[in-house]
Amino acid sequence: MNGFLFDEKLPTKVQFTPSLPVIHVSILGNSPSDTQIWEYAKEKELVIVTKDADFSDRLMVDSSPPKIVHLRFGNMRKREFHSFLARVCPEIEMLVIDHKLINVYSDQIEAFK
């Protein structure tokens, strides 16, 4: 695992320092498709961080999918979002080592192998 790939609807820069690099999908051009994001993450061994359920669903049909962190909470103010992610990031980083899907809710985190 080489870092996190933040999906389109997430900030282009994070205001905290995770242990792994954070890359935003904007490096793939304007509005890359889910397939482009998926393939790039697989090729570069990145974990997709998204609010889009399509990536979680796609895990079930791909024989060697990239890992997914699915943010399953409503909209937050920017400062609150960054504060929340900074607080849960260490747990996410630990779980993503052995799990292919991490669901992050405002009050809990679920991990699936």
Query: Which amino acid, residue 54?
Result: D
Tell whether the model's pLDDT for residue 17 goes beyond 80: no
DSSP H/E element including 98: helix 78-98
Evaluate whether 55 touches 68 at the Cβ level (below 8 Å).
Answer: yes
Residue pLDDT, tens place only, 51-91: 998 998 888 888 889 999 999 998 889 899 989 999 999 99
Range of the domain at 62: 3-112
Number of structural domains found in the chain: 1
Closest CA to 55 of 34, 74, 73: 34
Tell whether the model's pLDDT for residue 15 goes beyond 80: no
Residue pLDDT, tens place only, 88-108: 999 999 999 999 999 999 999
